[in-house]
Amino acid sequence: MTYIQADGSIKIAENSRIMVMDNNYRIMFYSYNGFTVRRSLQNIFIKNYIINRRRMVERLGINEAKKIVNEFYSYARNYTYIPEHVNYEFLQDDAEKLIKIYGNFIPIVPPDQYLSIYLKITSGCPWNKCTFCDLYQNDKYNVLHLKDIESEINALKEYFGSSITSRRSIFLGDANAINIGSDRLFEYLDLIHSNFNLGIYSFMDVFTTLKTKKFEDFVRMRELGMKRVYVGLESGDPDVLNILNKKIDINESINFINTVKDAGINIGIIILIGAGGKKHSQGHINNTVNYLKKINFTHGDMIYLSELSENERFLSALKDKPMTSQEKYDEMFKFKSLSSFGVPVVDYNLTEAVY
């Protein structure tokens, strides 16, 4: 059976296979034999499956990705028209066109923003000093001018064409995009809001942004379409934050997050599993749970658990043994069993957090 879905995407359901592509023939999702594969717009293929009740996530290498693409189009052509030139190379060219609009590869999005339109209003990270983070190490922090954002919007509209109806939101890039001057931010949000009838989302830190934004700013942001901000809190334990070189003041940041909530914007809080190594694991769990208890969570908020992948800078700051994969799994399990905040607690696996 072939369906045109409400967002214009094409869904084919045949025996044990489900295939979804947007109306420009870009593969979005493929499910077969207990595996699911998602294609990101930058042509990264993410495969999910379950082993011993654990959800496994893999980024496919180019050969396996090509095999999946050939299989997908070969089956799909039995049910709907797909032009002959549509193949792996077509998808790769398409991804390169998108990356060219941004100027470089987009390293990360939150797990519920895969179907967003990524819109860069800044590039890089204004802080860029967290020990565990390599995301923007080679990018100079920069705020885009209004005319550059206008060009980006036009280029993205042209890139998506009619398939823009498959996109669910606007995600502001890069790290902590809302940390620019408030008047400038409102001007940008106004432009975005008038071009897209979609909710707006962004990362936000809680140590530099609390110096640039206050309650009234968040109220205005909500009026201009801001729905949720994602905070890389990582931990509620001062010792762990010190290892990570995140300059978060516990009480100030709790008040700040609750201010965002009071303004009517949802919050997504990201916790880093393994961030304290073995030595600080219990303190990391206890102090983070105590921190989260002080947040006024409501419907629409989320907590994300993200497993740390250690780099050299983190290891030298830790001055201790990192946790094994099993120990991180146990720590994640403890977090989940202690988390009763009335909001979803979900995994944030960076392997699949790709646009």
Q: Which residues of this chain interact with ligand SF4, rule CB under 6 A?
A: 125, 127-128, 130, 133, 135-136, 175, 205, 232
Minimum CB distance to ligand SF4 smaller for 22 or for 112: 112
> CB of 122: closest distance to ligand SF4 in angstroms?
11
Ordered DSSP codes for 201-244: EEEE-SSSGGGT--HHHHHHHHHTTEEEEEEEEE-S-HHHHHHH
> CB of 318: closest distance to ligand SF4 in angstroms?
16
How far lies 251's CA from each of 74, 203, 235, 239, in Å? Answer: 57, 20, 13, 15
Q: What are phi and psi of 233, to 5 degrees?
A: -70, -45
> CB of 227: closest distance to ligand SF4 in angstroms?
20
> CB of 39: closest distance to ligand SF4 in angstroms?
25
> CB of 249: closest distance to ligand SF4 in angstroms?
15
- CB atoms under 10 Å from CB of 15, counted, come to 7
> CB of 233: closest distance to ligand SF4 in angstroms?
10
**Beta strand 266-273 with 226-234: parallel, antiparallel or unpaired?**
parallel
Residue in 301, 218, 302 with CA at minimum distance from that of residue 259: 218
Q: Which residues pair with 204 in a beta bridge?
A: 231
With beta carbons less than 8 A apart as the criterion, state whether 229 and 206 touch.
no
> CB of 109: closest distance to ligand SF4 in angstroms?
12
d(CA 14, CA 63): 25
d(CA 170, CA 120): 10
Q: Which two tokens stand for residue 79?
A: 């049910």
Minimum CB distance to ligand SF4 smaller for 127 or for 196: 127
Amino acid at 110: P
Q: Which two tokens stand for residue 306?
A: 């993200």
> CB of 145: closest distance to ligand SF4 in angstroms?
22
Minimum CB distance to ligand SF4 smaller for 136 or for 171: 136
With beta carbons less than 8 A apart as the criterion, state whether 248 and 206 touch.
yes
